[in-house]
Amino acid sequence: MYAAGLDGRVPALPTDPARLEAAARRVLPAHAFDYVAGGAGSGATMRANRAAFDRVGLVPRMLRGNHVRDWSTRLLGTWMPAPLLLGPVGVQSLLHDDGELATARAAAALGVPAVLSTASSHTTEEVAEASGRGPRWYQLYRPTDDDVTASLLARARAAGFTVLVVTLDTWTLGWRPRDLDRAYLPFLRGVGTAIPFSDPAFRAGLARSPEEDLGAAVRHRQRLFTGTAWGWDRLDRIRAQWEGPLVVKGIQRAEDAQLALRHGVDGVIVSNHGGRQVDRAIGALSALPGVVASVAGRVPVLFDSGIRTGADAAVALALGADAVLVGRPFAFGLALGGQAGVHHVVRCLLAELDTTLALAGYRDLAELRATEDVVAGAP
Ligand SMILES: Cc1cc2nc3c(=O)[nH]c(=O)nc-3n(C[C@H](O)[C@H](O)[C@H](O)COP(=O)(O)O)c2cc1C
Ligand SMILES: O=C(O)C(=O)c1ccccc1
């Protein structure tokens, strides 16, 4: 168990997520902090993500003799010490020079999967190497060009990524005032060598290399990755191109979960992208029970958007999620301490998850799932 603060030494970074965010704000340039902390529009969905957690609660049981506990699980062929993953977060070099490499190393050291974003600042191959013997999941933003899609998938497969996460909710970027007021310059240009600039199929579509003409490369990437809405038939094509488990990210209603199942997915992630896409969308946790009920155990249902603590994770699991992902919390850890910062955040989440479920009277996930009375209205 993580002894942050319990071993007589003050932890190097705060264990409280709000203080962690405040500390990250002090070290990051304003554009980088805003990129992570910001959301769509007025921020209503970001607030709704948190408010949804405030409407549900655990009902602890006493004297359960559960001093031995095990939260480990196997999901889509990946063993994990607890049902926790680091969600895909693009352009992590805006937060720390080591970016995705630091995240991959920290996650691998703990056996926790970190999902690699298509918009990574380091190449798929470099991140695969940094993740050592750790699990590898790859997130696809589907470009309009079939050759580039095939190349991204072939490289992910060759680099040992086993699970494909296809993000559906960001076929064009949401209306994000904080980024718009900077014309998205930080992540379009700033450290802008993000994948797929390194991809051979992407480079083949350019008259001159990104090194010679960065502006043209950025415009080409924009054309390939944003502004083209696609339908379920496109998902079939990706399905046909990926043999391993495929999970769709961004599901917010039961009908879409049903459609996804019909199109052969192996899992769904209930998510509103951390409130970064559709402002005024409902809090993601409110969408979880309906999707869980409609999927009815046929494939795993994962959840993200708004989780800040291990106790938040516990509630989402109690509501039927098979695993949860976090975004901003580990991004702030990365900003503050690189690999050590991500490691700290993940250990805090794992430790608080264990403490919460322990004190609530559970010993493993099967027990937590078997309990229908775990969530009972407002606290
Ligand atoms: C800075 C940042 C960048 C992100 N980049 C991606 C991305 O490249 N691909 C993706 O599928 N989701 C991306 N997301 C969404 C996260 O994977 C996740 O859905 C979200 O952060 C969860 O909400 P939370 O931040 O409240 O935990 C990003 C989120 C943040 C905060
Ligand atoms: O900012 C995001 O939420 C996101 O998904 C993204 C998309 C492209 C590049 C970087 C991040």
Residue-wise DSSP of 138-204: EEE---S-HHHHHHHHHHHHHTT--EEEEE-TTSS----HHHHTTTTHIIIIIT---TTTT-HHHHH
Asked whether 35 lines ligand 1 (CB < 6 A), one says: yes
Q: Is 263 a catalytic residue?
A: no
CB 194, CB 187: distance < 8 Å:
yes
What is the predicted pLDDT for the residue at 196? Answer: 86
Q: Using one digit for the tens of pLDDT, what is the confidence trace for 183-230?
A: 776 666 544 566 788 899 999 999 999 889 988 898 899 899 989 999
Asked whether 242 lines ligand 2 (CB < 6 A), one says: no
120 Cα–ligand 2 center, Å:
10
What is the predicted pLDDT for the residue at 211? Answer: 86
Q: Specify the residue for token string 């608080």.
A: 352
Q: Which atom of ligand 2 is nearest to the CA of 167?
A: 5
What is the predicted pLDDT for the residue at 290? Answer: 97
Which phi and psi angles does 340 have, rounded to 5°?
A: -65, -35
What is the predicted pLDDT for the residue at 378? Answer: 58
What is the predicted pLDDT for the residue at 214? Answer: 86
What is the predicted pLDDT for the residue at 274? Answer: 99
What residue's CA is closest to ligand 2, atom 2? 90
Rounded to an integer, what distance in angstroms lies between the CA atom of residue 324 and that of residue 292?
A: 13
Rounded to an integer, what distance in angstroms lies between the CA atom of residue 197 and that of residue 215?
A: 12
Rounded to an integer, what distance in angstroms lies between the CA atom of residue 92 and that of residue 90?
A: 6
What is the predicted pLDDT for the residue at 376? Answer: 60
Q: Which atom of ligand 1 is nearest to the CA of 272?
A: 19
Q: Which residues of the chain have pLDDT under 70?
A: 1-6, 185-194, 370-379
318 Cα–ligand 1 center, Å:
23
Asked whether 276 lines ligand 2 (CB < 6 A), one says: yes
What is the predicted pLDDT for the residue at 2? Answer: 55
Q: Using one digit for the tens of pLDDT, what is the confidence trace for 118-148?
A: 999 999 999 999 999 999 999 999 999 999 9
- Ordered by start, the domain boundaries in the chain are 17-368
Instruction: Choose which CATH entry (1.10.10.10, 3.40.980.10, 3.30.70.2740, 3.20.20.70) describes domain 17-368.
Output: 3.20.20.70
Give 4's DSSP letter: T
Asked whether 119 lines ligand 2 (CB < 6 A), one says: yes
SS3 content of the chain, % helix, strand, coil (to 5): 45, 10, 40
What is the predicted pLDDT for the residue at 140? Answer: 98
What is the predicted pLDDT for the residue at 255? Answer: 98
